A and B are shown apart, each in its own frame.
Chain A
Amino acid sequence: MDEEYDVIVLGTGLTECILSGLLSVDGQKVLHMDRNDYYGGDSASLNLTQLYQQFRGTPPPEALQLGRDRDYAVDLIPKFILSSGELTRMLVHTDVIRYLEFKVIAGSYVYRDGKISKVPSTEMEAVMSPLMGFFEKRRAKNFFQYLQNWKEADPATHQGFDVNKSTMKDLYAKFGLEAGTQDFVGHAMALWLDDDYITKPARQTVDRIILYTQSMARYGKSPYIYPLYGLGELPQAFARLSAIYGGTYMLDKKIESVNVDPETGYFTGVTSGGETVKAKKVIGDPSYFGAGKDDSAEGGKIRVIETGKVIRAICILKHPIPGTDNADSAQIIIPQNQVGRKNDIYIAAVSSAHNVAAPNVWIAIVSTIVETSVPEREILPGLQLLGNVVDKFISITPLYAPTSPGTNDNIFITKSYDATSHFETVVEDVSDVWQRVKGEKLVLKKREVEVEA
């Protein structure tokens, strides 16, 4: 451990593993450590024993007959991958995709007036969809055609509407879309968690709808893909990329201290197991920098702050989610307006089809951003859609963000995994940290073709 590294990365969550991989490919000497003896941190997937151990401290009850332990890979944070999104691009560009196998999520649903309906993926489905009345369907069709034809460089396609200046509210008004349709477009397609977007420039929402429809068009059924054996495969795959490019991996390393120069305040190294490793920079998840500790002011400096709380309920079912046509996997969005909330409630369900549960078992995770002092009551509208729940594990997790960009002390902290249903914000965080660490924008280059026999 007496070598000196360019970067020490703390925590093997997905964000840290992507960064570690990219930095190693970039030629940096990386030491990657984790306090746990397994990969993934918060983005790990647990088998049944680990799941019960973590939440109950007991083994899985035999009476529930949940099947074999090793058949399970239960995600702690529910997310799917948008098939045309940034994470997919990253997986392809780094070639990490070779270590993984993916399946399409079978359906995407949205809750309206007490029941769920499929988010239309084809024109045919749109015509059949009970989500809109006859005239509204025509208005919606015009709206989608406008987006489909919209080209940045061709002002004629903008039809006199400036997406960078005018708000989404104006765009809805332009096509006369009803409130219910707005809910569906803004939440089930643009995937906004709340309604703040309506009064902001339409640009971002337009981009998100285009991303959604492109992702949808890629494999049909739903805009999402999911790795076999669970999301925990993702950090492992990027860690392998890092290792292949010379990154050193050490698991099961308790981090005693993150050291800074008392004079300058700059990072100098990390102490673990009584040994100190030197490095120029450190990147890590908030838990390595005081998050969740009463005494979060490490060395008199508060490095992370809580930005909100997410409640997640991992539910074990022995049947598919009612109303999903026996889908082996699904996303259900409950737009906030539908249940009188400020933030949407999400349900993400996967099953043995993705090698994450025993045969005939579904894992559904209901989640939302906490708004009240009784968060468990807030997810009831989601739980009610699931039917009989065999067992349920609830967590209420604070989200943390760094207090400073790290450029003045070489301590670069990532964000907690948020309540969104996909990985776009994770990749945003990766790009952001990269820019802070390297002082330049992250440009993905196709990985050089390696020695291929």
Chain B
Amino acid sequence: MSDETPVKAVQVKLVLLGEAAVGKSSLVLRFCQGDFNENTSPTIGAAFLTQKCRLENRIVKFEIWDTAGQERFHSLAPMYYRNAQAAVVVYDITKAASLEKAKAWVKELQRQANANIVIALVGNKLDLVSESSSTPATVTPAAQETETEGEDGEDDSAEESITPTPATESDDARQVPTAEAEAYAKESGLLFFEASAKTGHNVGEIFTEIAKTIPFDTITPEPATAQTGNRRSAGNHENNNVNLGEGQQAKKGGCC
């Protein structure tokens, strides 16, 4: 982080969901490290990643939870959803079935998570389909993106290469039409993006848009918590709360 800001970072727990191999971890690696690895093995060894997102009036620090493979046999623990303020539900635009799976995860979130959780539906692997099918204009939320340009994010540079990988094979790879997924997102009240973890296209936008959408001023803490005024999700440590691990929160620099 280059400059000191008087604004305190607001911590936000964000959970990733989606079928295996749709690129959940890749999206986050792209977002957090500006990196893409062609052959990421199924998630191992990362408890969660953190990344800051700088808006005009606040800094949002995402604490991003990966499923760690526990979604495979439907064994995600309730703890995973607990106090999540945002969720990124990922599908693969070249696999129709993965959108159906994503819809099931959205249902699960609506059942298990906070009522006011912000959910973004993300169609990944945009780089695998030809340009014509993914005119940026259809990607609505990204259109309003420009105003937060003042960030010192390095991975934004990836956007230079917006034009996805050469469209050699024509549009055949796409199995989920943009309009279809977008219509579903709209009717379910989700943010919607098509993105590519490989090229970085639209990746930063997902998180910026989520940061802008979270109703920070009206966050209603978990019901029981309201009584004590303890708001875990916002990282407030009140009266009897305990901080055990000295080095428990490894700090890092960098911004999106």
CB <8 Å contact, B254 and A453: yes
How far is B223's CA from A70's CA once the two chains are assembled, in angstroms?
Answer: 9
Partner of B72, one of A229, A248, A356: A248
Segment with Cβ contacts to A, from B125-133, B171-179, B244-252? B244-252
In the complex, chain A residues whose CB is within 8 Å of the CB of B55: none
CB <8 Å contact, A451 and B45: yes
CB <8 Å contact, B47 and A355: no
Q: A98-B245, A240-B79, A251-B73 are in contact. List 8 more A-B contacts (CB 8 A).
A: A97-B245, A103-B241, A104-B240, A228-B232, A246-B69, A252-B74, A328-B240, A352-B228
Name the residue of chain B whose CB is nearest to the CB of A246: B44
- Is the C-beta of B70 less than 8 angstroms from some C-beta in chain A? yes
CB <8 Å contact, B73 and A106: no
- Is the C-beta of A6 less than 8 angstroms from some C-beta in chain B? no
In the complex, chain B residues whose CB is within 8 Å of the CB of A352: 224, 227-228
Contacting A at CB under 8 A, from B44-88, are 44-51, 66, 68-70, 72-75, 77-80, 82
- Is the C-beta of A359 less than 8 angstroms from some C-beta in chain B? yes
Total interface residues in chain A, CB < 8 Å: 51
In the complex, chain A residues whose CB is within 8 Å of the CB of B72: 248-249
In the complex, chain B residues whose CB is within 8 Å of the CB of A237: 79
In the complex, chain B residues whose CB is within 8 Å of the CB of A240: 47, 68, 70, 77, 79-80
Total interface residues in chain B, CB < 8 Å: 42
In the complex, chain A residues whose CB is within 8 Å of the CB of B33: 451, 453
How far is B232's CA from A252's CA once the two chains are assembled, in angstroms?
Answer: 31
- Is the C-beta of B181 less than 8 angstroms from some C-beta in chain A? no
In the complex, chain A residues whose CB is within 8 Å of the CB of B49: 451-453
CB <8 Å contact, A251 and B68: no
Given A244-B43, A353-B240, A450-B45, residue A249 in contact with residue B70 (CB < 8 A)? yes
Name the residue of chain A whose CB is nearest to the CB of B77: A236
Given A95-B47, A450-B46, A453-B50, residue A359 in contact with residue B244 (CB < 8 A)? no
- Is the C-beta of B242 less than 8 angstroms from some C-beta in chain A? yes
- Is the C-beta of B110 less than 8 angstroms from some C-beta in chain A? no
A residues neighboring B (CB under 8 Å):
38-39, 68, 70-71, 83, 88, 91-92, 95, 97-99, 101-104, 106, 219, 221, 225, 228-229, 233, 236-237, 239-241, 243-246, 248-252, 328, 352-353, 355-359, 449-453
In the complex, chain A residues whose CB is within 8 Å of the CB of B254: 453
In the complex, chain B residues whose CB is within 8 Å of the CB of A70: 223
- Is the C-beta of B225 less than 8 angstroms from some C-beta in chain A? yes
Given A251-B74, A353-B240, residue A95 in contact with residue B245 (CB < 8 A)? yes
- Is the C-beta of B156 less than 8 angstroms from some C-beta in chain A? no
Given A352-B227, A452-B49, residue A249 in contact with residue B75 (CB < 8 A)? yes
How far is B77's CA from A195's CA once the two chains are assembled, in angstroms?
Answer: 41
Q: Closest Cβ of chain A: how far from B65's Cβ, in Å?
A: 9
How far is B49's CA from A98's CA once the two chains are assembled, in angstroms?
Answer: 12
- Is the C-beta of B190 less than 8 angstroms from some C-beta in chain A? no
Partner of A251, one of B45, B51, B75, B79: B75
A–B pairs, 15, beta carbons within 8 Å: A95-B245, A99-B47, A103-B240, A104-B240, A233-B79, A236-B77, A239-B70, A239-B77, A244-B46, A244-B47, A246-B69, A355-B222, A450-B45, A451-B45, A453-B51
- Is the C-beta of B12 less than 8 angstroms from some C-beta in chain A? no
CB <8 Å contact, A357 and B79: no
Partner of B73, one of A68, A95, A248: A248
- Is the C-beta of B32 less than 8 angstroms from some C-beta in chain A? yes
Q: Closest Cβ of chain B: how far from A20's Cβ, in Å?
A: 12
CB <8 Å contact, B244 and A97: yes
In the complex, chain B residues whose CB is within 8 Å of the CB of A239: 70, 77
How far is B203's CA from A334's CA once the two chains are assembled, in angstroms?
Answer: 59
How far is B252's CA from A95's CA once the two chains are assembled, in angstroms?
Answer: 16
In the complex, chain B residues whose CB is within 8 Å of the CB of A251: 73-75
Name the residue of chain B whose CB is nearest to the CB of A40: B77
In the complex, chain A residues whose CB is within 8 Å of the CB of B69: 243, 246, 248-249
In the complex, chain A residues whose CB is within 8 Å of the CB of B70: 239-240, 243, 249
How far is B110's CA from A211's CA once the two chains are assembled, in angstroms?
Answer: 44
How far is B222's CA from A228's CA once the two chains are assembled, in angstroms?
Answer: 12
CB <8 Å contact, A83 and B51: no
In the complex, chain B residues whose CB is within 8 Å of the CB of A229: 79, 82
Contacting A at CB under 8 A, from B205-249, are 222-225, 227-228, 232, 240-242, 244-246, 248-249
Q: Closest Cβ of chain A: how far from B115's Cβ, in Å?
A: 11
How far is B252's CA from A166's CA once the two chains are assembled, in angstroms?
Answer: 53
Q: Which 3 A-B pairs have the closest CB atoms?
A: A453-B32, A249-B75, A243-B68
In the complex, chain B residues whose CB is within 8 Å of the CB of A233: 79
How far is B70's CA from A95's CA once the two chains are assembled, in angstroms?
Answer: 19
How far is B70's CA from A39's CA once the two chains are assembled, in angstroms?
Answer: 12
